[in-house]
């Protein structure tokens, strides 16, 4: 022991040397990051998703700028008549308001989650999921209108450039898939909160991790809204 102190090399208690030590460390679920492993994995997933959405939007910009055929005017294509003259982008504005509002309810759910208020956390998460379901429903209505009334298809577009349909259905469809998955995700976590699963450990980070995913989905929609509907 004296020699170990003089050389400054003291093995921690229970340390196993060599390959068996590596196996022991991995089997004991050592924490590699200073954050919850679920949160770290969610950030990695969101980073990879950022690259995918960025590729889609950059490809959309390239296709639109290089198109030799006139690109449809979004204000006319996405106008909706409510018993009178068509109102440009009215449905898109409502969809955006609904999704942005859901970020607020999700943030409050995380706040009440860390306060261990099960009732408010559950209700706010279900409200957020309801907003998401409303968004998906309005998007389905928008798709039906474009396909049935306007005749727009992924392979063609009677209103102008053929690439418009492919770009629109690919980008909004991929985002809508994320929102749909997020709704299911939020409902599952909300039910676990209500059931008291996180009371046993006192750890409500699962709510925050779900919030990270939902805020990312909302942020992506802001870029889609700006690039696709306003440009």
Q: What is the pLDDT of residue 14?
A: 52
DSSP secondary structure letters along 62-108 = HHHHH-SSPPP-HHHHT-EESSSSEETTHHHHHHHHHHHHHHHHHHH
Task: Report domain extents, the chain.
Answer: 37-229
Q: What is the CATH topology of the domain spanning 37-229?
A: 1.20.120
Whether the predicted model's global pTM rises above the 0.85 cut: no
The bridge status of strand 86-87 relative to strand 80-81 is antiparallel
- pLDDT (tens, 9 = 90+) of the chain, 231 residues, equals 444 434 444 444 456 677 777 777 666 655 655 677 788 899 999 999 999 999 999 999 999 998 888 888 888 888 888 777 888 889 999 999 999 999 999 999 999 998 989 999 999 999 999 999 999 999 999 999 989 888 888 888 888 888 888 999 999 999 999 999 999 999 999 999 999 888 777 678 999 999 999 999 999 999 999 988 888
Looking at the DSSP bridge assignments, the partners of residue 156 are: 153
């Amino acid at each position: 022991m004296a020699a170990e102190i003089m050389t400054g090399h003291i093995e921690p208690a229970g340390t196993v040397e060599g390959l068996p030590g590596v196996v022991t460390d991995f089997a004991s679920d050592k924490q590699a990051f200073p954050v919850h492993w679920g949160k770290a994995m969610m950030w990695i997933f969101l980073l990879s998703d950022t690259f995918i959405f960025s590729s889609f939007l950059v490809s959309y910009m390239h296709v639109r700028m290089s198109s030799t055929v006139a690109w449809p005017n979004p204000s006319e294509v996405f106008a909706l008549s409510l018993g009178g003259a068509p109102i440009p982008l009215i449905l898109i504005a409502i969809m955006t308001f609904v999704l942005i509002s859901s970020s607020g309810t999700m943030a409050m759910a995380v706040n009440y989650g860390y306060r261990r208020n099960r009732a408010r956390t559950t209700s706010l998460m279900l409200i957020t999921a309801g907003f998401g379901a409303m968004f998906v429903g309005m998007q389905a209505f928008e798709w039906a209108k474009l396909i049935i009334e306007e005749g727009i298809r992924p392979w063609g577009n009677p209103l102008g450039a053929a690439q418009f349909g492919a770009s629109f259905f690919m980008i909004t469809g991929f985002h809508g898939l994320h929102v749909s998955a997020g709704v299911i995700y939020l409902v599952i976590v909300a039910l676990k909160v209500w059931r008291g699963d996180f009371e046993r450990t006192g750890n409500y980070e699962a709510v925050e991790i779900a919030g990270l995913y939902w805020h990312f989905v909302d942020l992506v929609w802001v870029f889609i809204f700006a690039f696709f509907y306003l440009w």
